[in-house]
A and B are shown apart, each in its own frame.
Chain A
Amino acid sequence: MPDNSNNSQSAVSVRNVYKAFGKRPETVVRKLKAGATRDEVKSLGTAAVIDASFEVARGEIFVVMGLSGSGKSTLIRTLNGIQPPTEGTVEIFGQDITTVNAKRLRQIRREKISMVFQHFALLPHRTVGQNAAYALETRGVNRSDREKKAKESLELVGLKGYEYYYPHELSGGMRQRVGLARALAAETELMLMDEAFSALDPLIRKEMQDQLLELQQELGKTIVFITHDLNEAMRLGNRIAVMRDGRIVQNGTTEQILNDPANDYVAQFIQDVDRTRVLTAGDVKEPPVALLGAEQGPRAAHRLMRENQTTALCVVDQAKHLLGVVYETDAAEGVASGQDTLEGLIRPMPTTSSTTVLAELLNAAAEHAAGLAVVDDDGRLLGVIPRVTLLSSLADPSSAALKTIPQEATS
Chain B
Amino acid sequence: MNSPGMLLADEETDGAFIPRLPVGEKLEEGFDWFQDQFSGLIRGVEIAFETTSEGLAEILAAPDALVLTAIFALIAFLMRDWKLALLTVPLMLFIVSVDLWEEALETLALVAVATVVALVIAIPLGVLAAKSQFVSRAVRPVLDLMQTMPALVWLIPTLAMFGLGMPAGILATIIFALPPGVRFTELAIRQVDSEVVEAGHAFGSTGWQILFGIQLPLATKTIMAGVNQVIMLALSMAVFGGFVGAGGLGNEVSGAINTIDLERGLEAGLCVVMFAIYLDRVTAALGATEESTLYKLLRRRKPQQQQTEPDEAEAAEASTKTG
Contact = CB atoms under 8 A, between A and B. Distances in A.
Interface of A: 80, 82, 106-111, 113-115, 117-119, 121-125, 134-135, 138-139, 151, 160-161, 163-165, 182, 186, 192
B302 A164 contact: yes
B218 A82 contact: no
Given A80-B202, A138-B200, 20 more contacts: A82-B201, A106-B204, A106-B206, A109-B201, A111-B204, A114-B202, A115-B203, A117-B198, A118-B195, A119-B195, A121-B199, A123-B196, A123-B214, A134-B199, A139-B204, A161-B313, A164-B302, A164-B305, A164-B306, A192-B202
A160 B314 CA distance: 11
A117 B309 contact: no
Contacts of B193: 119, 121
A161 B313 CA distance: 9
A329 to B, nearest CB: 57
A117 B199 contact: yes
B310 interface: yes
B51 interface: no
A117 B199 CA distance: 8
Contacts of A151: 313
Contacts of A121: 193, 195-196, 198-199
Interface of B: 193, 195-196, 198-206, 209, 213-214, 217-218, 302-303, 305-306, 309-310, 313
A111 B199 CA distance: 15
Given A125-B217, A161-B309, A138 B204 contact: yes
Contacts of B218: 123-125
A106 B201 CA distance: 8
Nearest to B193: A121
B205 A138 contact: yes
A118 B193 CA distance: 13
Contact of B202 (A113, A123, A164, A165): A113
A283 to B, nearest CB: 35
Nearest to A113: B202
A121 B200 CA distance: 9
B217 A110 contact: no
Nearest to A151: B313
Nearest to B311: A161
A154 to B, nearest CB: 11
A106 to B, nearest CB: 4
Contacts of A165: 306
B203 A117 contact: no
Contacts of B206: 106
A370 B132 CA distance: 72
Contacts of B310: 160-161
B209 A82 contact: no
A114 B198 CA distance: 12
Given A82-B198, A117-B195, A110 B204 contact: yes
A156 B205 CA distance: 25
A123 B218 CA distance: 8
Q: Which of A115, A121, A122 has the most CB of B within 10 A?
A: A121
Top-7 shortest CB links A-B: A110-B204, A109-B204, A121-B199, A115-B202, A161-B310, A164-B306, A121-B195
Nearest to A186: B203
A340 to B, nearest CB: 56
Contacts of B199: 115, 117, 121-122, 134
B37 to A, nearest CB: 40
Given A161-B310, A164-B302, A135 B198 contact: no
Q: Which of A108, A117, A164 has the most CB of B within 10 A?
A: A164
A161 B306 CA distance: 8
Contacts of B198: 82, 117, 121
A138 B203 contact: yes
B306 A109 contact: no
